[in-house]
């Protein structure tokens, strides 16, 4: 059975995976019977060891690949994807980069410029619309990438380690920006990270995947009130609990 996408939110949530498996040519089983849901407006983080299928899962939800078995339902039938690298077009100005998905959506030229400026204002970068990407810091480029992702106007946002390459202070600032945008726009977010403390800082729930093949082995509910800080004792305590479980899974896999 292949993926099935729906155009409306069901009782199952904004994203719903039922029995999803992915086997690649050659026989490698990347995901095995994954059941997972993201409720409307929920922020869910995926963690697990390298090679456990986190990015594969996002690709399936985004429709970039098809599952070998199982069903996937996505609110509106589509999701916006933000990658680790900003991948901005260097020959285009910042505002023009944000206009690209608007053009693909058929927005008129006059409207594209106005909407791009509004989106840049959302990530607090309206004043750099006429700069080139190389003139911006790494954190600013990621904020432009977020604005470009929001330009797809999808209710579901998929994020594959978007802050992994940034320094700690920049990453912390972008956590605040992402949380603000998520709350303002009432998005549903599925966020992949190797940084367990980042997952606790941002997520409503944390889903831990087993290693090779990827299966959901544990779920952690993050009930600490927002806003949270990376150095909050409660954040550190839950991050330690998740990390211990992750280490246990890694040891099981290598033994």
The model's confidence at residue 12, banded by pLDDT at 50, 70 and 90, is low
Cβ-based neighbours of 5, under 8 Å, separated by 6 or more: 63, 72, 73, 74, 77, 78
Beta strands per DSSP E along 39-187:
43-47, 69-74, 80-82, 156-160
Mean per-residue pLDDT of the chain: 91
User: How crowded is residue 92: how many other Cβ atoms within 10 Å of its Cβ?
Assistant: 14
| pLDDT greater than 50 at residue 6 | no
Q: What average pLDDT does range 213-240 have in this prediction?
A: 94
pLDDT at 7: 38
N- to C-terminal Cα separation, the chain? 34
Q: What average pLDDT does range 75-81 have in this prediction?
A: 89
User: How crowded is residue 216: how many other Cβ atoms within 10 Å of its Cβ?
Assistant: 18
Q: What average pLDDT does range 101-118 have in this prediction?
A: 94
CATH 3.40.50.300 residue ranges for the chain: 1-79+154-255
Check residues 187 and 251 and name the one with the higher pLDDT. Answer: 187
pLDDT at 106: 94
Q: How far apart are CA 40 and CA 164, in angstroms?
A: 26
CATH superfamily of 1-79+154-255: P-loop containing nucleotide triphosphate hydrolases (3.40.50.300)
SS3 content of the chain, % helix, strand, coil (to 5): 40, 20, 35
The model's confidence at residue 78, banded by pLDDT at 50, 70 and 90, is confident
pTM, two decimals, is 0.92
91: which DSSP letter? T
3-class state of residue 2 by DSSP = coil
Q: Which two tokens stand for residue 138?
A: 């790494």
CA atoms within 13 A on the CB side of 239: 20
| Nearest residue to 8 (alpha-carbon basis) of 71, 62, 72, 75 | 75
Q: How far apart are CA 187 and CA 157, in angstroms?
A: 7
Q: How far apart are CA 126 and CA 82, in angstroms?
A: 20
Portion of the chain with pLDDT greater than 90, in percent: 80
User: What does the pLDDT look like over 163-213, one tens digit per residue?
Assistant: 998 999 999 999 999 999 999 999 999 999 999 999 999 999 999 999 888
| pLDDT greater than 70 at residue 254 | no
């Amino acid at each position: 059975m292949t993926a099935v996408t729906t155009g409306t939110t069901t009782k199952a949530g904004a994203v719903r995976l039922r029995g999803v498996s992915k086997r690649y040519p050659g026989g490698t089983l990347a995901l095995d019977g994954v059941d997972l849901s993201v409720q409307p407006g929920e922020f869910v983080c995926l963690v697990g060891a390298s090679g456990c299928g986190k990015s594969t899962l996002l690709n399936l939800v985004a429709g970039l690949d098809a599952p070998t078995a199982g069903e996937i339902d996505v609110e509106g039938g589509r999701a916006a994807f933000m990658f680790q690298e900003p991948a901005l077009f260097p020959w285009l100005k910042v505002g023009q980069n944000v206009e690209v998905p608007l053009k693909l959506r058929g927005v008129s030229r006059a409207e594209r410029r106005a909407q791009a400026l509004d989106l840049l204002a959302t990530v607090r970068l309206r004043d750099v619309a006429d700069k080139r990407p190389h003139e911006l810091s790494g954190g600013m480029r990621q904020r432009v990438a977020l604005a470009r992702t929001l330009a797809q106007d999808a209710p579901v946002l998929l994020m594959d380690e978007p802050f992994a390459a940034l320094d700690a202070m920049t990453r912390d600032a972008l956590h605040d920006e992402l949380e603000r945008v998520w709350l303002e726009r009432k998005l549903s977010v599925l966020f992949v990270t190797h940084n367990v403390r980042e997952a606790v800082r941002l997520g409503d729930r944390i889903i831990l995947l087993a290693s090779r093949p990827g299966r959901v082995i544990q779920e952690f509910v993050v009930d600490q009130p927002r806003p949270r800080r990376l150095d909050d004792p409660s954040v550190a305590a839950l991050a330690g609990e998740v990390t211990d479980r992750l280490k246990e899974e890694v040891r099981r896999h290598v033994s």
